[in-house]
Amino acid sequence: MVTNDLIAPEFYNITEELEKFSQDSDRQAIRWLNTQQERRTISYVELVQKMNQYAHAFTKKGLQKGDRVLVIIPRLPEAYFVFLGCLKAGIVPISCSEMLRASDLEYRMEHSSARAVIAYEAFTSEVDRITSSVEALNNKLVIGTATSNWTSLDELASTQPDTFTAAATKRDDMAFLSYTSGTTGKPKGVVHSHGWGYAHIRTAASQWLCVREGDLVWATAAPGWQKWIWSPFLSTIMLGATAFVYHGGFDAKTYLQLLHDEKVNVLCCTPTEYRIMAKIDNLKDYNLSSLRSAVSAGEPLNRPVIETFMN
C-alpha cells in the first residue's frame, strides 16, 4: 500500500463504501441481541433503504449539508440508520453519551452551533432540562415514543422514499465532530472528514482489526463514543462484514457465551473486559475457535491476559 492509495477522490461520501454490498439480499449488516434474547437482523439491502429514508427525514426537517446534530442513542440498529442518514445527506453527527448531563449537552449544542438533537426515548428528559434558547432545541427528534415538542424520527422516516441522492460532499468536508473528554478544560471538538474515513477503512479496519468481508465483528463500544465510529461502525459495515450488537451490560460469562454461541470472528473490547474474562475458571469450556482477531485499545493490556486468550 502506498500513501496515494489512502487519498479519497475529491468528491467522496463515506456511504459509498456501504452501498457496494447492497446488491446481495442475503448479506447481513447487523445482528442485534438484547438481554431479553430479542433479536433483530438487518440486511445490507434494508440498511441502505433505512439510510436513505432517514436522510430524507432529516431534509424534511430542514437540515442541510454541513449542519451539525447531536446524537444520543444506545446500542440499537437505529444508531446505524441515524449516522448513515446524516452522512449521506452531508449532515455532521456528534456522538453523545447518555451519561452526559444537561449542561454538557448544552455546551456541545452551543459550541458546535448544532441545529438539531436526536435522542432515544429514555434520554429525552436530560435534553428537556436545558432552559437556554440554543437552536438545536427547536428541532428535537426522538427514536421511540414521541412526547411534547419531540418529533418521532421512526415515524417520519417510515413514510419517506428508500432512494436518496447523496450530498455532493468533498473529501475534506466534515463527516463527524467528536468531543474530547475535557480533562484539561472544556471539551474540544475534533473534526473527522469524509476523506479521513476513506483512509481509516483502508488501514485500521483491515490492518489493525483485521476485518474481512463476511466476518462477524463484535466491537463493544457504544454509539456515544468516538470508538464506536472507528470500530463497530466504519470498520465493520463499510467492509461488508456483519456487526454483532449486544444491547446489554458487561458480564464476563455472558460475553464468553456469546462469543461461543454466535461464532464471533473479530472482537474489540476494553482491556478491563479482557482481564475479567481471563479470570473465569472454566474459560476452556467456551469454544472460541471462530475468533481470529482480538484487539483492544485505551491502555496497555498485560501479557498474561494476552497469552490466556492465545492459548
- CB of 123 within 8 A of CB of 76? no
pLDDT score of 298: 85
pLDDT score of 310: 81
Q: What is the mean pLDDT of residues 154-169?
A: 98
Residue-wise burial string across 215-239, b where 16 or more C-beta atoms lie within 10 A, e elsewhere: bbbbbbbbbbbebbbbbbbbbbbbb
Say whether pLDDT at 254 is over 80.
yes
pLDDT score of 31: 99
Number of C-beta neighbours around residue 54 at 10 A: 29
Grid coordinates belonging to 255: 460475553
pLDDT more than 90, % of the chain: 91
Angle formed by the axes of helices 271-278 and 303-310, to 10°? Answer: 60
Say whether pLDDT at 36 is over 70.
yes
pLDDT score of 311: 76
Q: What is the mean pLDDT of residues 17-44?
A: 97
CATH class of 12-27+43-211+222-235: alpha beta
pLDDT score of 308: 87
pLDDT score of 309: 83
pLDDT score of 2: 67
Mean pLDDT of all residues belonging to the chain:
96
Domain boundaries, the chain: 12-27+43-211+222-235
Q: Taking the model in full, what pTM does it have? A: 0.96
Q: What is the mean pLDDT of residues 53-73?
A: 99
